[in-house]
Chains A and B, each alone.
Chain A
Amino acid sequence: MRIGRLPARKARILAVRYLGAGIVTLLFLFPVYWLFMISFKTPDEIYHVPPLWIPGQIQFSNYYVLFRDGDVLAILNSVIVAGVSSGVAIVLGTLCAYSLARFGTGGENLAMWIISQRMIPPIAVVFPIFLIYVYFGLVDGYFGLILLYTAFNLPYVIWMMRGYIVDVPLELEESALVDGLNRWEVIWKVVFPMVRPGLMATSVFTFVFAWNDFLFALVLTRTEVITFPVMLTHYFGGQSNFWAKIAAMSVLGTLPIFVAVSVMQRYLVRGVSLGAVKG
């Protein structure tokens, strides 16, 4: 910050930066706006040449169709699968992370093996998993997908929670032990409350990962537990695309993510960088 500059110059710079910020935001949000807007358009407006940038009125018939035909069940399936698998991954992953962080179980090797599980490309495992699932009759059921997403998210949870638990002062746990709590009580009553913010953020990210997954869901669902990304691709046709459905379904499937991530904004950086950058 230089001293003695005219305020007018500062104001000009600020104005230019706001202009830049406005243009960038406009560019990046325009596709999102377009999606939302189409979901409110009538068929005549959607298939209008040239395209209309503002719908005539806000009407919800595109959404109504999704509810009437039961397509929203895909959203419900996604909620169940992503919700349960995140919950399980969080509980098991955090316990595992506590052991790694505090007892050094398995040493660095185990920790590295766990994180390397995350590096394996889904396409390389989806096919053998599919074969095994067919053998055990797990295809197109909740259990199979939940198990898969739990396994998929565990390395992330363990890695992140290990970082958060290491940050908890050791003295707190020691004094709790001296006060006569056993280890389970220490984990439940001392460690969990201390890492609660990190726990919340990690839960949101595991939920988002499971929610956004397409490849596993595409392979492992047929008709019963179709998740929302798979449902979305069913609306693409060779000749015609059901644009109203695509748009409305996309919006429905995106809203929960918007809400979750806005709430967890503070943790976004640490969450997406596997903790490598502390935001």
Chain B
Amino acid sequence: MTLSASFKAAEQRRPSRFGRMLEDRLPYLIVAPAILILLLVGLFPLIYSLIVSFQRITMTENDTSFVGLLNYAELFRDTRLWASLGHTTIITAIALPLELLVGFLMAQLFIDRMPGRQIFVALLVLPTVISPIVAGATWRLMFDVRFGPIGQILSFFAGEPVRILWTVNPSYVYPAIIICEVWQWSPFMFLLLLAALSNVDQSQLEAAEIDGASYLRVLRAIVLPAIAPVIAVACLIRGLDLVRIFDIIWALTEGGPGSMTETISLYTYVQGFSQFETSYTAAISFLVIALLTLITTLVLKRMELAR
């Protein structure tokens, strides 16, 4: 008996008309509240924002006349916007492979069973679950030029006092952000890759070992193909997060010095909440959504092709 048939059978034993109506509509009744909230908080603002993006509202002027694509045309002339997209790309392009590599090396270290492994894994996951704002704050303490331990450690190895203004000096702000980012999210990659690696077919690995295959060859021929789908998912999740990076940079540099580390999220925030360029901010939001949708679709297509 199928599920719906058995539901019908159950209904026949329940004569109450109201009860029956409730049960008939149940699939929709229980979907409705969630969908309603998603429409209200997810879709409604987007539609509102779309309308605003064709108007000309700023803090001083509530000009609701429609100006067509004026705000969107403005996007192309906005050098600070494209610079912020560039900063976002730089951070993503460096941090993502680094996180993947560090996470993979960590997973390799812990793949074989050893006593106490669970404790190590539990401890190593800590950076990933703490709030990104706390992570940023922590590294700001670490990097501090006078009272932080990083300078002290570097001085010890250099044999002379090293004074680096990590969060202010233009040459060091990006390394600082990326160190913090990699510290927080490598354990995330580690966790996923550890799970993926332990699902690799053991008999294949043993056969390869008996044949005397080298480590690199086993890695390339057996391990990497087996964990490729997990790597793809991990990179997609982290990639999307990196493109909208905000918290860590807010805590570390607030986009500075000047606007040197301003990412697209920070720039949108500044336009919306310090400049109050209401309509223009709406246009930027849609640019961001369009770019992310494009990237996600391309990645998902490639992932499906690879399968």
Interface residues of A (CB under 8 A from B): 2, 14, 17-18, 20-21, 24-25, 28-32, 34-35, 38, 46-51, 53, 92-93, 95-96, 98-100, 102-103, 105-106, 110, 114, 117, 119-132, 147-148, 150-152, 154-155, 158, 170, 173-174, 177-178, 180-184, 208, 211-212, 214-215, 219, 228-229, 232-233, 236, 241, 243, 246-247, 250, 253-254, 257-258, 261-262, 265, 268-269, 272-274, 276-279
Q: List the A side residues contacting B110 at CB < 8 Å.
A: 21
Q: List the B side residues contacting A114 at CB < 8 Å.
A: 38
A177 to B10 Cα, complex, angstroms: 6
In the complex where A182-B14, A214-B132, A232-B133 touch, is A243 in contact with B125 (Cβ < 8 A)? no
Which of A31, A49, A121, A154 is within 8 Å of B147, CB to CB? A49
Apart from the given pairs A119-B292, A228-B131, 5 other A-B contacts in the complex at a CB distance below 8 Å? A31-B183, A35-B138, A49-B147, A121-B243, A257-B130
A-B contact pairs, 13 of them (CB 8 A): A34-B142, A34-B149, A35-B137, A105-B27, A110-B31, A121-B292, A131-B48, A151-B40, A154-B38, A214-B246, A243-B141, A265-B125, A274-B233
Q: Kindly state whether residue B106 has any CB partner on chain A within 8 Å.
A: yes
A38 to B144 Cα, complex, angstroms: 13
Which of B52, B122, B141 is within 8 Å of A131, CB to CB? B52
Number of residue pairs spanning A and B whose beta carbons lie under 8 angstroms apart: 284
The reply to whether B289 and A182 contact each other, CB–CB distance below 8 Å, is no
The reply to whether A95 and B195 contact each other, CB–CB distance below 8 Å, is no
The reply to whether B288 and A151 contact each other, CB–CB distance below 8 Å, is no
A162 CB to closest chain B CB (Å) equals 12
The reply to whether B114 and A123 contact each other, CB–CB distance below 8 Å, is no
The reply to whether A96 and B35 contact each other, CB–CB distance below 8 Å, is yes
A245 CB to closest chain B CB (Å) equals 10
Q: List the A side residues contacting B1 at CB < 8 Å.
A: 174, 178
Interface centre among B126, B186, B273 (most CB of A within 10 A): B126
A16 to B211 Cα, complex, angstroms: 26
The reply to whether A18 and B114 contact each other, CB–CB distance below 8 Å, is yes
The main secondary structure of chain A at its interface with chain B is helix
Q: Kindly state whether residue B146 has any CB partner on chain A within 8 Å.
A: yes
A173 to B3 Cα, complex, angstroms: 8
0/1 per residue, B176-210, Cβ < 8 Å to A? 00000001001110011011100000000000010
The reply to whether A273 and B109 contact each other, CB–CB distance below 8 Å, is no
The reply to whether A155 and B38 contact each other, CB–CB distance below 8 Å, is yes
Give the size range of B's interface with the partner.
Answer: 35 or more
Interface centre among A38, A211, A228, A261 (most CB of B within 10 A): A261
The reply to whether B34 and A127 contact each other, CB–CB distance below 8 Å, is no
The reply to whether B27 and A154 contact each other, CB–CB distance below 8 Å, is no
The reply to whether B247 and A95 contact each other, CB–CB distance below 8 Å, is no
Q: List the B side residues contacting A18 at CB < 8 Å.
A: 114
Of all chain B residues, the one with the shortest Cβ separation from A149 is B41
Q: Kindly state whether residue B120 has any CB partner on chain A within 8 Å.
A: yes
A147 to B40 Cα, complex, angstroms: 10
The reply to whether A180 and B292 contact each other, CB–CB distance below 8 Å, is no
Q: List the B side residues contacting A31 at CB < 8 Å.
A: 127, 138-139, 142, 183
Q: Kindly state whether residue B282 has any CB partner on chain A within 8 Å.
A: yes
The reply to whether A17 and B133 contact each other, CB–CB distance below 8 Å, is no
A250 CB to closest chain B CB (Å) equals 5
The reply to whether B244 and A121 contact each other, CB–CB distance below 8 Å, is yes
Q: Kindly state whether residue B278 has any CB partner on chain A within 8 Å.
A: yes
The reply to whether B269 and A233 contact each other, CB–CB distance below 8 Å, is no
Q: List the A side residues contacting B288 at CB < 8 Å.
A: 121, 123-124
A100 CB to closest chain B CB (Å) equals 7
A173 to B121 Cα, complex, angstroms: 38
B265 CB to closest chain A CB (Å) equals 4
Which of A122, A241, A250 is within 8 Å of B244, CB to CB? A122
Q: List the B side residues contacting A170 at CB < 8 Å.
A: 3
